[in-house]
Structure 1
């Protein structure tokens, strides 16, 4: 999966630096066999335009070959003047699982620290996709940068994509660098303007954020997620939060209730989550308790929730159901739309299902997709038995069928539109 957004990923002909004057000259010469005067004139005009108009260089891409051409990169960056930059750095990865990557770390460090770092204060979108071994060099080189106008940050640890499921059991080969050690440095002495962040195998440390409009944490995040621990401030500063394919970390459940500040989180997507694995003293496979993870999320202002394809045979789904069942107050008091996809209540007691539904007193729309027939039948059965649950529920959407509730909520299957 490509982390870098397609709308700002340049096409092969999207950047001016991909049109060298020599190439244009050759093309024009082939079109005009009588003279090269016209070709020379056009190339001179082209060169002047490309070197004297800073706005042409607002979007710059740096790839693996540029690591060995720092002078060229420096000139290209200088051509952008004081214009805000979209900077995209893509470094190569091994061609196969068994191939060790080769990279000149000193050259990469020189490029990032002595060439790129000086322009990061003009960077409003930064996209970095790099292999595991390159990230410590990148992080060390850019440490101390202020990022005063950085709004969009897209970080991808390419190596970790195929390894995230086994990180808890084995150390990684490449210089024994673990994703939990890869924390991109942001300034801590002032508020960060960041409004969108996509993280895949690289984390962000604790910083004084404004409101993150979108925070997307995809697979390959280490089980500990943020700098060796879960950092609730990072999660609770996002309006739209997507967590996809991670091992949910273990946290201690506090003995006293947590005093939560007014919530910011409004839209939450939790997809393909599993509990963090471990080996106990007897050498047996166990999973950590996931309750602390859900307690740490401030859901007081949450409006929509999507739960997609969790590990049903593990304890993560079990822990959430038991947390909701044992809670005295609704954990999702404002959620009006809930989506369950590829989930099931198989063999769960009706009391657990009732406790789950009781956590959503403001629910108006319930979407059930690719779930078993028994799953949504059990939901309907519990709602029929306990009418006070989800009293504001207006419709139940099951795959392509919509069950519409009228003024009288019973029977629940009164009207079906296919």
Structure 2
């Protein structure tokens, strides 16, 4: 049915078959049942208990809403996504209308995640991993080659946890929230420990710390890590978040949607950016001066890691919050000074401010963590935001994230190719 075709008239109380309902909605029969599972349509068993029937007026109302959405949808050249999760505005950002930096300063990562998912603050909430999914994820991760990166491990852990969850295809809000609260600690538990004496207890930040460094955690450092996780929960439609929403639009389950985000995150322009800043700070500390390090980066035609963000003309509020907390961390002073040296040296020629990757690298360098630790922190943190976006997308029309390709190849008919 085209947008110009009128809806057929239906009688009050009339019941439609699944096939008739699918035709009126312009979808496949299986999509009709997806509408039912999300509460957008109600169904009754047909006469004799065979098949389902649907209220014709309810179907007509849903078809009308879908038609209005299609008319209102922007062109694929300028695709935008309605969201109630994160707003970025005037060098600040907000989770559900609340200043994200202030929220992260006052609440744990788990509490901020709950706020993002439900709009309800639950003080003291803790996430724990079920034993079955934790064991499955650890076995899968332990089987990877020794040189596997952190995102490889997290992606495999997510797949293993999904395989251990027979209810993963339930896309109801209650089920997805249950998945969210167990998947994140499962990802952390699946990572190899940095200290063999560690135990899985305490906050998620404390458990993650033991996977990132062999040094004991002090309170100030743990606070920085927990705040970093909360600050990184979401950041509007970053590339990985868009991938998650595309997967959710196709009704992939939450584990698969998170896996899509992890696949995109691995790029050097996204989650791995903090690792580049980490190596740069080590170079500055080794050489005692940022000037030759900055010069080497520019000579090689590379941008300076940890500087600038296209959404923040001024300071990145996430970096500002972390730098303030890092001043109280024992042993962070040299890395903080190196980061400031990079900013000051670069400021002679360009007006670029420190971003969250530079602040995160100060934490990883001063805590004896490997270069890829920032990527791990980023991925674990952002999993909560990805699930928040998946929850939103499950409430939208299925497969709406489907732009049309603009074919620019040779026009048919072309002759059949010959073997070379």
Structure with greater proportional strand content = 1
Choose between structure 1 and 2 for higher RCO, CA contacts under 8 A separated by at least 6 residues: 2
TM-score, structure 1 as length reference = 0.24
Structure showing the higher helix proportion among its residues: 2
TM-score for both structures, normalised by structure 2: 0.24
Of structures 1 and 2, the larger Rg is shown by 1
